Amino acid sequence: MSAVHFDRIDLHMHTTVSDGTDTPEEIIAKAKEAGLDLFSVTDHDASAGCIRIIGKLTHQDPAFITGAEFSCRDDQGKYHILGYGFDPEANSMRSLVEEEHDRRMLKLKIRLDHLEEIFGIRFSEDDMDALYMLDNPGKPHLGNLLVKYGYADKMSEAISKYVDGAKCRNMHVRTEVAIKCIRESGGIPVLAHPSYGSGGEFITGAEMDRRISRLKDMGLEGVEAYYSTFTEDLIHEMTILADKYKLLVTAGSDYHGANKDIKLGYNKLKSVPEGHHGVRDFIDAVSDRIIKA
């Protein structure tokens, strides 16, 4: 497929398969309504939403590319690694998402135990059953329940006050493992929102340069230089680093539906620009993996 057809893109959004509030089927309709030419769903540690979308696309819908976002950690930090254009049925990808699902279910138990032991909070059996029925439960699901029952006014407040204290250390996939699995599954690994590290960590300058260099050595192939909350200075820094390290560039809103105040399609990229190692080069690199009904 020619890149010229994909001027309006959003390659970072979440569905109910992880911590979004729209189903994969609803995301298709919203991507069309937003006037996107190309979109990707990047649920946390999961590919089930992509599989559902592939089965529902019609000729009237935007083009689609598979995606996922993996929460990673190594000896030098925490990262979110996006994967694009992978085969969701490849053994490497299936193994990775299954392992991450098991980690998430274990973290859910640890967090529920923490709420009961430290705060005396125990949800009803119906709530517990609903949590364990989720594809990939995370902090937002618990935060929303805590708001529902009056423990906090906002999800973010509930998470910081009640959930973050649960000890879930060393329960992330290693960064190099996620990158390797994405590549083995035919995908392209990309660093999500590069300037935002763990918690409130904000990374720029020489530290960002070192981080990109180290991840490139692990097999990283791209950076999300266009992002909904990035300033023009951050975008400029990331495009310069992408050019320096010959990395591809992506653009994403990080849309979560009602769970975040971010509009689908809003990623500071008005249209796909020309340019060496830019967004157009990314689209060209995945052109044979773009799905159009």
Q: What is the pLDDT of residues 33-52, one digit of tens each?
A: 999 999 999 999 999 999 99
Q: What are the backbone dihedrals phi and psi of residue 73, each rounded to the nearest 5 degrees, phi first?
A: -150, 145
Query: Which residue is listed with tokens 């299936």?
Result: 94
Residue matched to tokens 């085969």: 87
Question: What pLDDT band is residue 197 in, cutting at 50, 70 and 90?
Answer: confident
Whether 117 shows a pLDDT value over 80: the answer reads yes
Q: Please choose, from the candidates 29, 77, 34, 43, the residue with its C-alpha nearest in 3D space to the C-alpha of residue 254.
A: 43
pLDDT at 169: 74
What pLDDT is attached to residue 2? 44
Rounded to whole angstroms, the Cα distance separating 282 from 226 reads: 13
User: What is the Cα–Cα distance from 56 to 63, expressed in whole angstroms?
Assistant: 12
Give 125-174 pLDDT, tens digit per residue: 999 999 998 888 999 999 999 999 999 999 999 999 999 999 887 778 99
Which overall architecture, per CATH, does domain 3-91+176-289 show?
Alpha-Beta Barrel (3.20)
DSSP code of 254? -
- In this predicted structure, what is the pLDDT of residue 5? 63
Query: What pLDDT sits at residue 176?
Result: 96
> DSSP label at 251?
E
Domain borders along the chain are: 3-91+176-289, 97-163
In the chain, the largest separation of any two C-alpha atoms, in whole Å, equals 57
Q: Check whether 220 has a pLDDT greater than 80.
A: yes
Mind listing the pLDDT tens digit for each residue in 50-100?
Answer: 999 999 999 999 999 999 999 998 888 889 999 999 999 999 999 999 999
Instruction: Tell me the per-residue pLDDT of 174-191, one tens digit each, with 9 for 90 and over.
Output: 999 999 999 999 999 999
Structure tokens belonging to residue 10: 């959003």
pLDDT at position 277: 54
Instruction: Write the pLDDT tens digit of every residue in 225-253.
Output: 999 999 999 999 999 999 999 999 999 99
- What is the reported pTM? 0.92
Helix axes 205-218, 175-184, angle to 10 degrees: 50
Q: Evaluate if residue 1 carries a pLDDT over 50.
A: no
Which of 10, 23, 8 has its CA nearest to residue 257?
23
Burial call 239-278: b when 16+ CB within 10 Å, e when fewer: bebbeebebbbbbbbbbbbebbebebbbbbbeebeeeebb
Q: What is the mean pLDDT of the chain?
A: 92
Q: Report yes or no: 171 and 138 within 8 Å, Cβ to Cβ.
A: no
